[in-house]
Structure 1
Amino acid sequence: MIPIFGDDPSKRRREINLGGTHSATSYSDILEEAKARRTQRQDQKRRNDSATRIQAWWRGVSSKRAIRQQIRQRFEEDITGLNGLRSLVLLGQDETALGMWSEAMMQDDLDGLLLHEARPTGESWRVLLRKASVVLLHSVSKDPQSQHALAHLSVLKMLVSSSPNRVEYTQYLLRHGLYEHIREAFLRIPVESKTAPSLPDLVELATWPLQNASTGKQALAELLVYIISIPLLPNRITINLLTTLSARLPVIDLIVIGPQIPTLLDDYPLLSQLEPKIHLLANLVLFTSPRYRMMKFEPFVAYLDICTRLMSAMPPHALEPPEDERDKPQHWADGEDEDEDAPQVTVVQSFEAKPVLPKLDSRTLTRLQTLPHVQHISTLLQATQSHPSKYPLIKFCLALTTVWPTRRDRVLSTVIAWNGGGLVREIYRNHVRSSALGRDDSLLTIMDPENEYSWPPLVFLADLYTQALLTMGDDEFFSTGAMPGVPRNPLTLDELASFSRKLLNIAFTLYWREDPTNLQEGGVPGLGGMKWEQVREKFAKCLQAIHARDSRRPFTPPDHWLMTPQVDMVSFIEAAVYVLPLQRINHLTGACHRFEERQLAQPEGSRPLSKRQISYLSPRLGVLNNIPFAIPFETRVSIFRSFIANDAMNNDRPNFNMFRHARTRVTVRRGSIAQDGFDKLSEVNLKEPIYITFIDQFGNEEAGIDGGGVFKEFLTSLCKEVFDTDRGLWLANKNNELYPNPHSYAVEAHSLNWYRFIGRILGKALYEGILVDVAFAGFFLAKWLGKQSYLDDLASLDPELYTGLLYLKHYTGNPEDLSLNFTISLEEFGVAKTYDLIPNGSNIAVTRENRLQYIYLVSHFRLTKQIKRQSEAFFEGLSELIDPKWIRMFNQQELQILLGGVNSPIDLDDLRKHTQYGGVYDDKHPTVEMFWNVANSFDHDTRRKLLRFATSCSRPPLL
């Protein structure tokens, strides 16, 4: 071997120094010289080693070429024989040789194949033929549009469909990725090339294994995983091929595949990705939905189960990913104003990374629209109507509303309207009523996996009934079906009482748990990826809606809503008062975050809460903020007053007496109480005591010291003026309950400043515990609590519109005959003006399918949108003194009591018991005795006037 780098070593001579030691050369120079020579020798050795390897590689390449040439020669000498086949397998991906062999085999057709299998060497022929089929399959998957692809596919079809040993060949191909390669071939053909010559053969090759009993099960599973999940599959093939593929899909075998879906999702890496799952769902629905009416119940159930499991494995919004977070469409039943329509239940921020949603083709999005479409849901309902169990349909609809929340309202409304609400009733009676979930003796085991079957019906019914209440008037809610023209409530009042108690028991247990992290991370058995906190919020929302009806017109037994046996009220008050005022940011009030990561905000210098303290305190906050009605009203009032007392102490009012150490003195003219109050108190800190001095009509200060009565008189007179409907800021309904004027002049800057001032004044009254003789409309009070107003609230505002909407809801004819569209016309100062309820609403007709949305939007416009800016200004002033969290412990009726006392008869005995006397007087004094004798003779109205004289309010004080 002659080196190719450097000189010949034999010609190199060692340099010898005969002159002795050079005094000029240092020790370091010698070391550097030795190091340089060592490096030179290493480099030379590395070059020689590299040269050896290159030469060995080249000899191998040369030998391989020579051997392949020999094999190629032997192949060409016997293309269709055993030696030729053996040579073909050894050659591997030699496209020229593969093309020659496929063409030759096509000419011999099946006869040549049978001839070889019948010879003594038939076993060797079959072994080699199996290996050759995999090579052909690889070639097709890499280039399905090559000049030899059709020949390869023809041979493969012959092997799996016509050969006597077709089962053997099919099984071998399945083991070596038949459907993976077919998928790859499909994806390499452009979507627009529907007429590609190889497509019909690919479809044939994909469907033939389904015909054999021994391979059909595996073939169907892999067909679903690899072929039906191909993006835009229906757009890649012609109508004829689409029909062929659909007709050969063995729907009956879905019974076998259905239970395997969890395994398929785990075992096939392809389905671990989100996008293939979406395409599988879209294509499966396309192929199967036209056959709903012909399918037997068992395969239909299996089909629903497959779709349900696929959707349960997807994140929300996966079926309609928005292009931008801000473009996410909202539910029509959730309103459009996030700040005013925010539900009372706490929205929990997840600490998990948000999944990246794929950007789907518009054709796929259009195909997916079939899933939540009213006609599709109705067809599913019709298909399951005759079967006693609706469990598969329940799980399907629940999964659909979870993965596609923007279509939740459409799906739920269709299910509610089906058969006059009969399905709601059927779900309760067949699946929920007999369930152990929610019973008093099962609360400790609600998280057990053995309850997997019971959760989907209960959660879906909670969603359904919450949705139903959006457009259910009180006449329908309390109807038994006896009144003509008024449909009955899907659930009787007794059933509602039982159902709400189940929900309350479960919601309370979930809020009361001492492990909020487990609730956030743990999944609910039977509900796919749904978390416990999501179920808890659904139940809380449904409970709030039912409790609102019960508060307005009671139908549940006494103490139905209370969980007093499970709660020590003394410790509950202490915990709530200790924690809630310490919170500084709203998203901590849910008491269901990862508290180990986000400590409750506390005053500077205080010791941080331990995990044990947090786990003890947080459940009380969860109950208080989400299902407060589980705690007695008196307890919540005590907590409310304690919040204010703590806040007053933090504002340097240690004695919490508004009439000691007054810091702000205000003079008010008797004839201009409202205007002077507005001018002088708009910028004053009303949390501090206010000292009022009245100026009489002659301009003189009235005598006396403000010891409390003067300020209460001022507040009473102020409220009488600012809430006078003749001033134009407020209107009254038929029950003389006030709400902001919706007219355009009420949203002018000056008017909004007045609303802000009035909010501050009412906040002052609440802060000081002064009752005001003002009654507000229920739908306006609901906005104080961050709640939405629905159709049932419209009756108190516009009875005629309410009646008309109920007529539309129960109209048995075609709603399009009424010529309604998504607009509303209102008259202001004699001029009619039309507003679109949705974009382009004037061109969208009200139909049977969207009339519930129309009813909701009309109610939402009248109850919310018209008074949006007025309400915002009012709440801005109110929140300067009263933290919104403090009053969200109450419902509308309770809040009215908090403002103005109990609207009940005057109990003179109780009034006398709590009256304090000054000077020489006491309860036994003759004059006092005469006073009470006279008072006992008063009628109800006169007693109210007496109470108003003494306390500034005609209703009994709170507690």
Structure 2
Amino acid sequence: MLPLFGDDRKRREINLGGRRTAATHDLILEQAKARRTEREDIRRKRDSAVRLQAWWRGLHEARRVRRQLRQTLAENVTGIVGLRCLAVLGQDEEALALWSNAVLGAGEESLFHLATGAEGSSWLVLIREVSYSLLKSAASAPRSPDAVSHLRILNALLSPAVCGKHLGDQGPVVSREITGYLLAREMYTLLSQAITGIAIDAKNTPSLPLIVPLITSPLTTFSSSPEQYQTALSALFTRILTIPLLPNRLPLSSLTELSSRLPLSALPQLPATFPADACALPTEPKIHLIANLAAFAPPRYKALPAAALSAYLELLGALLSSLPVNALDPPPPKPKSATTSKPWHTADSDTDSDDDSPVQVRVVSSFTAPAEPLPQLDARTSKRLQTLPAPAHLTALLQAAQRHPATQPQLFAFILSLSMAWPRKKDVVLGTAVAYAGGGLIRELWRGYVRGSVLGRDERAGAIMDPENAAQWPPLLLLTEMYTQALQTMGDDEFFSSAANSSAGRNPLSLDELIALSRRLLNIAFTLYWREDQRDVQEGTVPGLRGVRWEVVRETLTRCLQAIHGRDSRKPFTPEGHWHCTSQLDMSSFIEAAVLEEQRLTQPDVPQSRPLSKRQVAKLSPRLGVLHNIPFAIPFEIRVSIFRHFVANDMISQGYDRYGRRGRLRVSVRRDHIAEDGFDRLGDADLKAPIEIVFIDQFGQEEAGIDGGGVFKEFLTSLCKEVFDRDRGLWLANKKNELYPNPHSYAKEPHSLNWYRFIGRVLGKALYEGILVDVAFAGFFLAKWLGKQSFLDDLASLDPDLYNGLIFLKHYNGNPEDLSLTFTVDEEDLGVTKTTELIPNGSNIPVTRENRLQYITLVSHYRLTKQIRLQSEAFFEGLSQMIDTKWLRMFNQQELQILLGGVDTPIDLDDLRSHTNYGGLYDDNHPTIVMFWNVVNTFNQDQRKALLRFVTSCSRPPLLGFKELVPNFAIRDAGSDEARLPTSSTCVNLLKLPRYQSEKTLRDKLLQAIYSGAGFDLS
């Protein structure tokens, strides 16, 4: 019976109103939800309490059981019961220490006595588990005294000899079982943890000598089990040899033991996938693996069999190829100022900084950008890595590979990978390879590997990206890199004297071989530049070259082609049309497309007559790639025409009309102060605008006449004569009277640099207007206009004595140290001798047989580049204001000189006559004109050039013939007085010729005029 009062249960609320409101309904729902939540909380608390109580009871019971197991273990330490207790206890440091110390105290026999009785099978199962616990304990606290006991037991259990001593024939089987059990449970990871758990400077830790035998014991145990042997060997490389500073962590005796037992000869037994697996490691472990291999492997190169050496080189090459560029030797941070680009520097430009770092050919990032930051390497690791590119190490590898010719493909891939992964050491690596056996490696690469390959053959040029060609790329690319390097320290006399018919150290390839090689390289480079889809080139990688992009291959081949073509330009040795790829092109459409592409790049907002599709734009873009990188693939005349189109388009975009009056800049210049007035009046003027020159005579009066272009040409010609006068101190000349900037300190003063800047603008104006100037520049200085570096072959034109001395050093058979040379240069400036170091601490670094090529390169670079860096930069700054540097890159040095001063070739009289205008009484059939051409036809080439110079101020004909001479060559009637000499108006290319009555008189008077320098005639 329920109580009437005091019932604490809630009574059901009854609404007698007969109708519930909406608010009451919502309230009921909320109350029900709250009661449900309350019940859930109560149930959750009750369940948590039950679980907590169960956990506590379990923990309490486990502690009780563990105490009981420890007690049982203590009562029967060396028995099977104690072993079972130890296996159940697992990672119990107290129990493990008790058992280890008891077993060691009882003697080695106590470890194995249970294995031979009735409990033998149980013992083996239990001892495997206990071994694993011992290993984990030693790995977690390697410096503890107990770790020493654990490791001693492990060494006994994992030693087939020890096990065999106590167990007889079953001993090796037992040892194999235990080792396999541990190997399957990350044995090498735990050993690595044990080694790295000991400080590097704690070499006297007792556990270290006990760890080293465990590293190599599985390799002895599983010598007859290929699968387990591979597993152990792979783990040794990826877990142990990736430990930072491994040689520095081990005591000397252990280091010697590990080095002697390291199974380098077994490298061929690694799984086929191992190089890829190693390359998949993070960057830092890969670097430590390379550093440790560099420490352990070199002393054993001579003893390695061919298969092992091949596998070793393949592994090293793969690791290097998988590294981000500069990971082995991060470059020092550049100053902020170095990030500011200068307008006259092209992508290939040598910035000529004042630092003393070795001169480098620009290297494009060979591999993909790192997805992780470059590691900060310990100084000792960096020092060990420095042995890889060292000449002594590379020479040892080359000698080892020479004993085993089958290893050469892997050697080539390794050298190539090392040079690409370590750009700052590229010159040293390639230089050592080039110098080895007097360039014999280059010959071997060409004759043994490249010559027989299908890459670059005319009939297979389009199939270069086929994966089936993977094995042929490393030899070709290494050959290209090495030959480019060899050309840096090869003079022209050496280049044209092959090793086959001269002394050692000459050109390793014959001219016929160079013709075949250069044509193959040209085919490949042209195909890569000409591809419609350039994304394949920029992002795709090369088969056979792990991670190397096609773009890198293209630029590597381009550098070599440019160097070979440069030699051919100075002294031709290739057949007619060798460099041209015109059979693959329609020249008329090529010009139009190249001009349009340039216009779209420089004037993207200019509307086109009709929009171009992406496919059309992609198809047009390769033209500029060819023109800017391998321009010699296109005939010179075509490139000149394209250049003129570029200038014409630029003039239109600037809003200027060469022949109109709008926008003309009127400048007054005194005839006797042309250079000074030109500098003052035009220093800051926009020289792209049409310029009207007004000459002021000696009386201060303006000369009569209107400048239609001729007067400006005269001004420009006269200005060049003055500013390039060597007496002004800005320019020097070599023995061929070719000019280059004066390197002396006077020429580096701010006022002198302003003059160089002005002269650059003036010459840029001449190129812009197509006005030929009679000035010749040294080839090494012209190379700088194109963003190219100059090397030893250019030094002969500047300093023949120094050139001959460097050639002597290069081929010196004695010890170069006997010559007492250091990495310094002495120069005299204003009577004071100054010594400059070529590299840091260069005065204390002797020139040796190994580094003499580097010395030759640095001396050449200093004399040809660094001495005139400021002068050149100022000149290029002015030049680039007028001429886009990309336009100049369509030409080489010789072609640029032609573009500037005309063709130094025989004058074609038929071409000149067909483009000659006449004035006054003269026409083509006038008797005097007929006599004139008859007389000129009898002139030799020197006389014809003198005549051309007399009339036009330049002795060389225009690039594309006399149709390009602006204004055209002209002859005007100068009266009937036969006593008068012919005169000229060079500003308008006009010859004023009296009406002579005989050919003899005309000939005598004409020769007298052109050789006596008859004056400029204003009449």
The alignment's TM-score, normalised by the length of structure 2, stands at 0.86
Q: Does residue 855 of structure 1 match 2:856? A: yes
Q: 1:639 aligns with which of 638, 642, 650?
A: 642
Counterpart AA for 1:614: V
The aligned amino acid for 1:583 is: L
CA distance in 1 between counterparts of 2:865 and 2:708 reads: 41
Q: 1:484 to 1:178 in 2, by over 3 A?
A: closer
Please state how far the C-alpha of 1:681 moved relative to its aligned partner. 1.5
Q: Shift of residue 241 of structure 1?
A: 0.5
1:738 Cα deviation after fit: 1.0
**1:368 aligns to what?**
385
What is the deviation of 1:16? 7.3
Q: Is the 8 A contact 1:779 1:793 kept in 2?
A: yes
1:900 alignment partner in structure 2? 901
Residue type of the partner of 1:275? E
Aligned AA (1:256): Q
Match of 2:991 in 1: none
Offset from partner CA, 1:300-335 (integer Å, 9 cap, x none):
2222222222212212112223463669999xx996
Task: Tell me which residue corresponds to 2:544.
Answer: 526
2:103 alignment counterpart? 105
Q: CA deviation at 1:138?
A: 1.4
- Decide which moves more: 465-474 or 148-157: 148-157
- The alignment status of 1:141 with 2:139, answered yes or no, reads yes
After superposition, where does 1:325-340 map in structure 2 within 5 Å? 337=352
Q: Secondary structure at the match of 1:306?
A: helix
Structure 1 unaligned spans of 5+:
1-9, 585-600
Bigger drift between 604-613 and 392-401 goes to 604-613
Distance 2:503 2:756 in 1: 42
Greater Cα offset, 151-160 or 62-71? 62-71
Helix, strand or coil for the counterpart of 1:917? strand
Cα offset for 1:723?
1.1
Query: What secondary structure sits across from 2:158 in the alignment?
Result: helix
Aligned partner of 1:83 in structure 2 is 81
1:128 aligns with 2:137: no
Question: Is the Cα–Cα contact under 8 Å of residues 825 and 837 in structure 2 kept in the other structure?
Answer: yes
Matched-pair contact (CA < 8 Å) for 2:438–2:504: no
For 2:587, the equivalent position in structure 1 comes to 569
CA distance in 1, matches of 2:706, 2:58: 114
Structure 1: distance between partners of 2:393 and 2:604: 53
Instruction: Give yes or no for the alignment of 1:265 onto 2:263.
Output: no
Unaligned runs of 5+ in 2: 1-5, 164-170, 340-347, 961-1019
Which residue in 1 is equivalent to 2:212? 203
**Separation (CA, whole Å) in 1 of partners of 2:480 and 2:335:** 29
Identify if the C-alpha distance between structure 1 residues 326 and 406 changes in structure 2 by more than 3 Å, giving closer, same or farther: farther
**CA distance in structure 1 between the partners assigned to 2:289 and 2:235 by the alignment:** 12
Secondary structure at 1:834 match in 2: strand
SS in 2 for 1:556: coil
| SS at structure 1 position matched to 2:494 | helix
Tell me how far 1:430 sits from its aligned partner. Answer: 1.0
User: In the alignment, is residue 475 of structure 1 matched against residue 512 of structure 2?
Assistant: no
Residue in 1 aligned with 2:988? none
| Identity score, percent | 58
2:653 corresponds to 1:650: yes
Question: Contact 2:738 / 2:776 at 8 angstroms: preserved in 1?
Answer: yes
Q: Relative to 1, partners in 2 of residues 1:350 and 1:691: Cα closer, same or farther, differing over 3 Å? A: farther
Please give the per-residue CA displacement for 1:333-380, whole angstroms capped at 9, x wherever unaligned. 996626999999895899855541111111111111111111111111
Counterpart residue number, 1:620: 623
Q: Show the 5 A alignment for 1:700-849.
A: 700-849=701-850
The answer (yes or no) to whether the contact 2:522–2:579 under 8 Å persists in 1 is: yes
> In the alignment, which of 300, 320, 344 is matched to residue 329 of structure 2?
320
Shift of 1:770: 1.0
Question: Displacement, 1:956?
Answer: 0.6
Q: Residue 334 and residue 513 in structure 1: after superposition, are their counterparts in 2 closer, same or farther (change >3 A)?
A: closer
Does structure 2 retain, via aligned residues, the 8 Å contact 1:72–1:87? yes
Q: Secondary structure at the match of 1:797?
A: coil
**Cα–Cα, structure 1 residues 12 and 402, in superposed 2: closer, same or farther, change >3 Å?**
farther
When normalised by structure 1's length, the TM-score is 0.91
**Structure 1 letter corresponding to 2:116:** A
Q: Compare 920-929 and 153-162 and name the one that shifted more.
A: 920-929
Please report how far the alpha carbon of residue 12 of structure 1 lies from its aligned counterpart in structure 2 after TM superposition: 4.7
**Higher alpha-carbon deviation: 621-630 or 30-39:** 30-39
- Tell me the secondary structure at the aligned position of residue 699 of structure 1: coil
Report the AA paired with residue 182 of structure 2: L
Residue matched to 1:188? 197
> Structure 1: which amino acid aligns with 2:403?
S
Q: Deviations over 1:140-171 (max 9, x none)?
A: 11112223212221221222112211111111
Aligned to 1:3: none
Contact 1:254–1:302 (CA under 8 A) maintained in structure 2: yes
User: How far apart, in 1, do the equivalents of 2:856 and 2:362 lie?
Assistant: 24
CA distance in 1, matches of 2:683, 2:327: 50
Measured against aligned partners, the alpha-carbon deviations of 1:735-775 in whole angstroms (never above 9, x if no partner) come to 11111111111122221121111111111111111111111
8 Å contact from structure 1 (residues 342, 788) kept in 2: no
C-alpha displacement of 1:20: 8.2
* Structure 1 equivalent of residue 115 of structure 2: 117
For residues 688 and 482 of structure 2, the distance between their equivalents in structure 1, rounded to whole angstroms, comes to 45
Task: Write the deviation string for residues 868-894 of structure 1: whole angstroms up to 9, x where unpaired.
Answer: 111111111111111111111000000
Comparing 765-774 and 913-922, the one that deviates more:
913-922
Measure how far apart 1:19 and its partner are: 11
CA contact (8 A) 2:790 2:864 kept: yes
Instruction: Tell me the residue number matched to 1:597.
Output: none
The CA deviation string for residues 553-572 of structure 1, in whole angstroms up to 9 with x for no partner, is 11111111111111222222
Q: Which amino acid aligns with 2:897?
A: Q
Q: Residues 199 and 237 of structure 1 are in contact (CA less than 8 Å); yes or no, is this contact kept in structure 2?
A: yes
Query: 1:61 is matched by which residue type in structure 2?
Result: L
The Cα shift of 1:73 comes to: 4.0
Correspondence list, 1:156-555, <5 A: 156-161=154-159, 162-163=162-163, 164=171, 165-212=174-221, 213=223, 214=225, 215-257=228-270, 259-265=272-278, 272-322=281-331, 324=333, 337=352, 352=369, 355-389=372-406, 390-481=408-499, 487-555=505-573
The verdict on how the C-alpha distance between 1:326 and 1:394 changes in structure 2, with shifts beyond 3 A counting, is farther
Read off the aligned partner of 2:299 and give its amino acid letter: P
CA apart distance, 1:232: 1.1
Picking from 624, 629, 633, the partner of 1:630 is 633
Partners of 2:78 and 2:111 within 8 A in 1: no
Secondary structure at the aligned position of 2:918 is classed as coil
Distance 1:55 1:48 in 2: 11
Q: 1:19 to 1:393 in 2, by over 3 A?
A: closer
Deviates more, 1:219-228 or 1:346-355: 346-355
**Secondary structure of residue in 2 paired with 1:667:** strand
With 523-532 and 912-921 compared, the bigger mean Cα shift is at 912-921
Which has the higher mean CA deviation after the structures are superposed, 61-70 or 132-141?
A: 61-70
Residue type at the aligned position of 1:88: L
The aligned counterpart of 1:592 is none
Instruction: Give the Cα separation in 1 of the matches to 2:262 and 2:813.
Output: 41
Q: Does the 8 Å contact 1:581/1:646 carry over to 2? A: yes
Question: Residue type of the partner of 1:845?
Answer: P
Partners of 1:263 and 1:635 in 2: CA distance: 49
How far apart, in 2, do the equivalents of 1:385 and 1:854 lie? 27
Q: Retained in 2: the 8 A contact 1:466–1:541? A: yes
Aligned length, in residue pairs: 926
Instruction: Decide whether aligned partners of structure 1 residues 155 and 487 sit closer, same or farther in structure 2, where only a CA change above 3 A counts.
Output: closer
Residues of 2 paired with 1:346 and 1:814: CA distance?
Answer: 33
Q: Work out the CA distance in 1 between the residues paired with 2:846 and 2:21.
A: 107
Q: Report deviation, 1:110.
A: 4.8
For residues 350 and 645 of structure 2, what CA distance do their matches in structure 1 show? 34
* Deviation for aligned residue 1:678: 1.5
Say if 2:675 and 2:719, in contact at 8 Å, map to a contact too: yes
Q: Deviations over 1:893-945 (max 9, x none)?
A: 00011011100121212110111234564322323212212222333333223
Residue aligned with 1:665, SS = strand
What is the alpha-carbon distance in structure 2 between the residues aligned to residue 244 and residue 336 of structure 1? 51
The letter for the 1-side match of 2:498 is T
